[in-house]
Chains A and B, each alone.
Chain A
Amino acid sequence: MADIVQFENVGLRYGAGGETLSDLSLSLEAGGFYFLTGPSGAGKTSMLKLLYVAQRPSRGVIRLFGEDVVTMPRAELPALRRRIGVVFQDFRLVPHLSAFDNVALPLRLAGMDDDAVAASVHEMLDWVGLTDRAAARPATLSGGEQQRVAIARAVIARPELLIADEPTGNVDPEMANRLLHLFDGLNALGTTVLIATHDLHLMGHVPRARTLRLARGRVSDPVGALRHPPRVRA
């Protein structure tokens, strides 16, 4: 199967100081289900930021959908980003917009007409159990509710790649399971899923999932889940 994500010797350094990520080489198969774990501060969020191109690496090559995103011109990024759904660790809901409008954003950006948007968004909100909170502004939602809005927004456009940063950190175990089901279902429809999480229990729920461990900026592969690309340099 084709690789949807490829990292080759990727390094990331914020300002001065040491590298937050070093020599990251890995590839993710299209259609795979991956967990990314590691202690707090290991660089999980940093790695995901590289993936959704919120950050360029200091060195190395990153390919998404077979295209080099490091040298990709700005003008081509929007089209690339529309193929990716992201659940941010800090949600990043637009404060002026209701839950409904936040979830609708990706569809509206893609130019979908109002009726289709409304139908999709209602179905999605129903899935995450927020139908009666559709009109609420993010500030009036609980942490878990905000997280579910963020998840709904990330998956509504059926992205080819779903990136979720601690997507179940703020919900009860039952809701966590329900959300995992959502990701699972999406994965079954072909979306590649990458979830950063500390939740070992959650990881046990998807037997086919593979796990990447990040520790001090380097990725380890305890169960041989990764297919390292051939080394470019000796």
Chain B
Amino acid sequence: MIPRPLDRIVARLLGRAGPLPQPRIAGPMAALIAIMVFLSVLAGAAGLGLAGTSSALDRQMAGRVTIQIVAADPAVRAAEAAAAEAVVRRLPQALSVARVPDSEVASLVQPWLGTLGNDLPLPALIDVELADGGVPTLRRALRPVAPSALIDEHARWLGPVNRLVSALSGLAGALVLLIGIATAATVVLAARGALDTHRGTVEVLHLLGATDRQIARLFERRFALDALLGGVAGFLAGVAVLLMLGRLVVAVRSDLLGTTVSSGSGFALLLTVPLAAALVATVSARMTILRVLRRML
């Protein structure tokens, strides 16, 4: 065990009067950690939001299909559409079925074809939401009643979007990791610098019988405190920015963006960022200092 009074010497040794640190904004170390934590919070929030969007897309797409009845003869088409709708409604896997009114189909193509579309045979559309793995069953059920039916799975055309969103989410996670590594590397350099600055004192402490741990403790404390201070500042700044972004997102009313920011559990997860930063800083500082001390006599 490290004797408690040593904390006090250490505090003084490191330029703090008394057992409690003076209320001053800590040095460049704290500023650096603040910036790193700020960036990590933003990247982390983006990553969490995108992951949320991705799983929302998954949920929305899974099982969504549109049946197109493309028979050219309007009478055949109408008959196949009615039969298909009836068959699908009886499928246990069909969670919801909705015939898209012909007028709506016409209005969908109208911007491209104008009134020309009125004379064209437009397919009949039926939107279906299927339970997992319902597509083959649907295909089998449709074949006898509606030979001209095409099944359009939403997952097929939203898939690339979803892959992009997941990739971006992974990238955000990787950024957080990289920022963490950069922070650790900087702390290592800073710890070496601090040890160099106080080399004379460290030597004397050694000669007076201080153990490496006792000496490392002195430095570690400083780094832990700075990191915690910087971490909290960076976190608050990051959250403030996120809340502001959140309000802008709400104003946009987009389904895709809606899930990105501001859930309680998301913020709780982000709270681990400053804590992790303090931990990374403390551990890197300790390891660096112990390693350097071991090379001294």
Contacts and interface: CB of A to CB of B under 8 A. Distances in A.
Contacts of B204: 92-94
Contacts of B294: 74
Nearest to B6: A108
Counting chain B CB atoms within 10 Å of each CB, which of A98, A106, A108, A113 scores highest? A108
B12 A109 contact: no
A114 B6 CA distance: 10
Contacts of A77: 206, 297
Interface residues of A, number: 33
Contacts of B107: none
Interface of B is mostly: helix
B214 interface: yes
A109 B201 contact: no
Given A74-B297, A113-B5, A117-B5, A96 B12 contact: yes
A66 interface: no
Interface stretch (A19-27, A48-56, A200-208, A221-229): A48-56
A188 interface: no
B297 A53 contact: yes
A97 interface: yes
Contacts of B3: 108-112
Interface in B257-297: 294, 297
A18 interface: no
A95 interface: yes
B12 A108 contact: no
B14 A96 contact: yes
Given A92-B200, A96-B14, A108-B9, A81 B209 contact: yes
Given A52-B207, A54-B297, A56-B297, A97 B12 contact: yes
Contacts of B12: 96-98, 101
A53 to B, nearest CB: 7
A111 B8 CA distance: 12
Contact of A79 (B9, B14, B209): B209
A77 B210 CA distance: 9
A54 B1 CA distance: 25
17 contacts: A54-B297, A78-B210, A80-B209, A81-B206, A93-B204, A94-B205, A96-B12, A98-B12, A101-B9, A105-B205, A105-B208, A108-B8, A108-B9, A109-B208, A110-B3, A111-B3, A114-B5
5 cross-chain pairs, A with B, having the tightest CB-CB distances, nearest first? A111-B3, A82-B209, A81-B209, A78-B211, A108-B5
Interface of A: 52-56, 74, 77-82, 86, 92-98, 101, 104-106, 108-114, 117, 153
